[in-house]
Amino acid sequence: MASVLQLSDVSVVRDGTTILDSVDWTVNSDERWVVLGPNGAGKTTMLQLAAAQLHPSSGTAMLLDQQLGSVDVFELRPRIGFASTALARKLPRNERVIDVVMTAAYSVTGRWTESYEDLDTRRAERVLAEWKLGNLAERRFGDLSDGEQKRVQIARAVMTDPELLLLDEPAASLDLGSREELLQLLSGYASSPEAPAIVMVTHHVEEIPEGFTHAMLLADGEIQAEGEIDDVLTSELLSDTFGLPLEISKQDGRFTARAQQQN
Ligand SMILES: Nc1ncnc2c1ncn2[C@@H]1O[C@H](COP(=O)(O)OP(=O)(O)OP(=O)(O)O)[C@@H](O)[C@H]1O
């Protein structure tokens, strides 16, 4: 299976601080990864590397068969779908939902003078329907609920049929109903044979959709564990990563975690 991302001995240093330390990580095209770790572990930095928004300070990062640092990132970025709160803040709140999604075709936020083809419109309509947003296409983005806005961000990220989809805390701040609705959609998407490789950062194991295959645990910029999801999301490894005794269980494909009872 072809790899879409391959980090070899990658470190990221910013203002003298090592944020990622000698990371080795390969994501193959048929894998769906979740990245977990405490605040400040380096998860967002890892996604920024995977989104070609950041170069390694040392080591080698291969992204979609191109080496970061020796490729035009503007050619790479349209092949990568990225949904994050930072990106969502750039989306114009008074733009129609369909335009928020369609402008991804040009990697811009905010419709301006670009001309779109019927193909773009049809694709945006199809993606909106897939993410249960078809009836909201003409609404203003800023008027939607948080749950609907999160789905629009993902619809926008998949608009260009990316080879790698990156999701930074897609379920953060959602109420229980909106979270479950989103997880169901993400599960369906992740389980489809046409889905791209996916990397999702989250703070909560409860937010891992069914169908995710691999996990990475990160702390202090170092990988604590990585591999198949059931081998990595164990009570022992999670307790070590978060520095407190945790008990993890899995039922019907979904994980839950809680602090262990102290005697
Ligand atoms: N320019 C910078 N200079 C120094 N340190 C930085 C810089 N940018 C980020 N950091 C630090 O790097 C660390 C990792 O940040 P990052 O946002 O990748 O972590 P994270 O795991 O996504 O955290 P969170 O879960 O809180 O979102 C943090 O401690 C952050 O303060």
Ligand 1 atom closest to Cα of 47?
Answer: 18
Q: What pLDDT is stored for residue 260 in this prediction?
A: 84
Q: What average pLDDT is seen over the chain?
A: 91
**All domains in the chain, ordered by first residue:** 3-259 (3.40.50.300)
Q: What pLDDT is stored for residue 158 in this prediction?
A: 93
Q: What pLDDT is stored for residue 116 in this prediction?
A: 67
Contacts of 202 (CB under 8 A, 6+ apart): 34, 35, 36, 169, 170, 171, 172, 208
Q: How far is the CA of 14 from the centre of ligand 1 (A)?
A: 9
Q: How far is the CA of 204 from the centre of ligand 1 (A)?
A: 18
Find out whether the beta carbon of 37 lies less than 6 Å from any atom of ligand 1: yes
Ranges of the chain whose pLDDT falls below 70: 1, 105-116, 262-263
Q: What pLDDT is stored for residue 77 in this prediction?
A: 84
Of 12, 50, 48, 45, the residue nearest 31 (C-alpha): 50
Contacts of 191 (CB under 8 A, 6+ apart): 210, 211
